Chain A
Amino acid sequence: MFSRDEIRSKIESALIEVFEERCPDKPVPNLEADTILLETGLDSLGFAVLIVELEDGLGYDPFAEAEEAYYPQTFGEFVEYFFRMQP
């Protein structure tokens, strides 16, 4: 089991890594719980890549395992979803 803080920090560093790779010219977003994911500047492909990176790092993909689709809107919701869906 990862703690909420561990998950948050893993997601934060993975997101920043993907962001720097994909958007080298844009400023790295400041990630707060209420940060709107869409407004970070990452596109759909960026989020898909982020989820693959997190699957490699955390060992699970909550979006693939969920029976019902969930589309988080804020960074806080995204972290909470990963925390709640731990296997």
Chain B
Amino acid sequence: MTCLRNLLEETGPNGFQLTHGNSVITQASLLEKADHLRNQYPIQSFRPLFSFDSISAALPWLVAADGLSHRIGLASPRVSVDTLDKLKKLGGFYLVVPGDEAGFQAEVVQPDAAERGVQGATEWVLTTSGTTGIPKLVPHTLDSLLRTTKRSNPKGIVPVWGLLYSFDRFAGLQVLLQAVASGSKLIVPPNDASLSDQIQFMVEHGVTHLSASPTLWRRLLMAPASRELNLRSITLGGEIADQEVLDALSSRFPSARLVHIYASTEAGVGFSVVDKKAGFPVEFIDKPPAGVELRVRNKSLQLRTRRQSVSYIGSDKQVSDAQGWVNSGDLLERRGDRYLFVGRDDSTINVGGMKVQPEIVEQAIKSEPGIAEARVFGKGSAITGMLVCAEICLDAPVTDEKAFVKSLKGKLLNHLADHEMPVRIKIVENIEINASGKVERK
């Protein structure tokens, strides 16, 4: 059975090493810290939900718990106390936060007898990126998370990975696991550093491999210091990569390998494209990339892997159909020998990797006084991929529309996250409602 502890042992004492700000954790000291935690706490009899800001504080816990606990969860330290509470209940978790480690022994949730007998791999539970309402709990195993990672380094060159994502997110965890599994160095800038300082930190520590969302790459391209990065490998994920950002990256870093990853949290990992072109080759449908099957139904990409997250934890909603196919919701258009991503089959708006449900924004707008109807939709952005826009109908005309919109925006700030805020609100005469009584979306 694969577990983090075994992976670390396999890479040997000169293998994995984490540099996080001023602290350096070697493979040997990581194993030692993990064993210490295993000796100190009854890890096998509870399901830890880790909500840590610091990767160097969290990693020993992850190594200790993987292979012992039935289920471990990762939650962003930025979610509210309320949401953490709900996550705990949904997943039967015990919350572990930094500084509170010693307190939990007394409070450990005793699993039922059936669970104590569970054998096999630890379930890794990630929370999806929705910030409004309750994040969904998506179960994985270490094997499924590692499916596309390389266990060895070609030509004996040891990559130096930089991490710019939070490690509690799918994309960040992939970088962390890749570095552990291949025995590489992982460089994580201090948590409170500005992007310029983060880049400087990565330059100083010789980062050669870097993964980021297209939105973050565009931001890196705007940073003069990024010219000093000596990158061999560039990975894009979390959003659809457009040709513009791929071109800009290949001209800034001409000798780097350029990989864009298509993944849906629901389907586990997806597949990668390495030819520096947007979309993916049509031949992927017949000759799919390792371990994934692809098909197109109603213009939408569907994926099937050998192991699928079958359903969300604490929910009846099925992720895949009876044959194991997961609908990604991403719409495709064929152009020549290429499939390009052209939008969503639902109304989800992806703002720099954060998914926004327009219905939730519409609800927030309509709950303000004076608003009769609202329509929320996405607008393309060269910086964040998409942005949220809104049209509103008023109960009665106002004399100063600009002031009304400004005050509305101010009120919405109390209910919506930053990326959910409509950047443009237009007052219109009339919003079309379709036969089922819903707002018409294009």
Please report A residues at the B interface, Cβ cutoff 8 Å.
36-39, 43-45, 47-49, 51-52, 56, 61, 63-64, 66, 68-73
The 6 closest A-B pairs by CB, nearest first: A69-B244, A63-B382, A71-B221, A48-B383, A48-B384, A69-B248
Q: Which residues of B have CB within 8 Å of A52?
A: 379, 381, 387, 423-424
Q: Which residues of A have CB within 8 Å of B222?
A: 37-38, 71-73
Interface check B364, CB cutoff 8 A: no
Interface check B371, CB cutoff 8 A: no
Interface check B195, CB cutoff 8 A: yes
Please, could you name 12 A-B residue pairs with CB atoms under 8 Å apart, sorted by A? A38-B222, A39-B194, A44-B216, A44-B218, A45-B351, A45-B383, A51-B382, A52-B379, A64-B382, A68-B247, A69-B247, A71-B248
Q: Which of A37, A47, A48, A56 has the most CB of B within 10 A?
A: A48
Name the CB-closest residue of B to A61.
B382
Given known contacts A36-B196, A38-B219, A44-B218, A63 and B383 CB-to-CB distance under 8 angstroms? yes
Given known contacts A49-B423, A52-B424, A69-B382, A38 and B195 CB-to-CB distance under 8 angstroms? yes
Name the CB-closest residue of A to B243.
A69
What is the CB-to-nearest-CB distance from B164 to chain A, in angstroms, rounded to a whole number? Answer: 12
Binary contact readout B383-426 vs A (1 if CB under 8 angstroms, 0 otherwise):
11001000000000000000000000000000000110001100
Alpha-carbon gap, A37 to B219, bound state (A): 10
Alpha-carbon gap, A69 to B250, bound state (A): 12
Alpha-carbon gap, A84 to B123, bound state (A): 55
Interface check B51, CB cutoff 8 A: no
Interface check B265, CB cutoff 8 A: no
Q: Which residues of A have CB within 8 Å of B219?
A: 38, 43-44
What is the CB-to-nearest-CB distance from B12 to chain A, in angstroms, rounded to a whole number? Answer: 39
Alpha-carbon gap, A70 to B418, bound state (A): 25
* Residues B383 and A51 in contact, CB atoms below 8 Å apart: yes
Q: How many A-B residue pairs have CB under 8 A?
A: 68
Binary contact readout B359-382 vs A (1 if CB under 8 angstroms, 0 otherwise):
000000000000000000001111
Interface check B223, CB cutoff 8 A: yes
Given known contacts A36-B196, A71-B218, A72-B222, A44 and B424 CB-to-CB distance under 8 angstroms? no
Name the CB-closest residue of B to A65.
B382
**Chain A interface main SS type:** helix
Alpha-carbon gap, A36 to B218, bound state (A): 15
Q: Which B residues from 229 to 264 make CB contacts under 8 A with A? A: 244-245, 247-248
Chain B interface residue count, Cβ-Cβ cutoff 8 angstroms: 28
* Residues A48 and B224 in contact, CB atoms below 8 Å apart: no
What is the CB-to-nearest-CB distance from A51 to chain B, in angstroms, rounded to a whole number? Answer: 7
Please report B residues at the A interface, Cβ cutoff 8 Å.
194-196, 215-216, 218-219, 221-224, 244-245, 247-248, 351-352, 379-384, 387, 418-419, 423-424
Alpha-carbon gap, A44 to B424, bound state (A): 16
Name the CB-closest residue of A to B223.
A38
Name the CB-closest residue of A to B418.
A45
Alpha-carbon gap, A70 to B248, bound state (A): 8
* Residues B352 and A44 in contact, CB atoms below 8 Å apart: yes
Contacts beyond the supplied A38-B219, A52-B379, A69-B382: 6 A-B pairs with Cβ under 8 Å: A44-B219, A44-B352, A44-B383, A52-B423, A66-B382, A69-B244
Q: Which residues of A have CB within 8 Å of B351?
A: 45
Q: Which residues of B have CB within 8 Å of A43?
A: 219
* Residues A56 and B424 in contact, CB atoms below 8 Å apart: yes
* Residues A48 and B423 in contact, CB atoms below 8 Å apart: yes
Alpha-carbon gap, A40 to B221, bound state (A): 16
Name the CB-closest residue of A to B249.
A69
What is the CB-to-nearest-CB distance from B387 to chain A, in angstroms, rounded to a whole number? Answer: 6
Q: Which residues of B have CB within 8 Å of A47?
A: 383
Alpha-carbon gap, A16 to B358, bound state (A): 28
Q: Which residues of A have CB within 8 Å of B245?
A: 69
Q: Which residues of A have CB within 8 Å of B381?
A: 48, 51-52
What is the CB-to-nearest-CB distance from B416 to chain A, in angstroms, rounded to a whole number? Answer: 12
Q: Which residues of B have CB within 8 Å of A61?
A: 382
Q: Which residues of B have CB within 8 Å of A56?
A: 424
Name the CB-closest residue of A to B222.
A71
Alpha-carbon gap, A72 to B248, bound state (A): 12
Alpha-carbon gap, A61 to B381, bound state (A): 10
Q: Please tell me which one of the listed residues A38, A45, A68 contacts residue B244 in the complex, with CB atoms under 8 A apart.
A: A68
Alpha-carbon gap, A47 to B385, bound state (A): 12
Given known contacts A38-B196, A73-B224, A44 and B215 CB-to-CB distance under 8 angstroms? yes
Alpha-carbon gap, A66 to B242, bound state (A): 14
Alpha-carbon gap, A70 to B219, bound state (A): 11
Q: Which residues of A have CB within 8 Å of B418?
A: 45
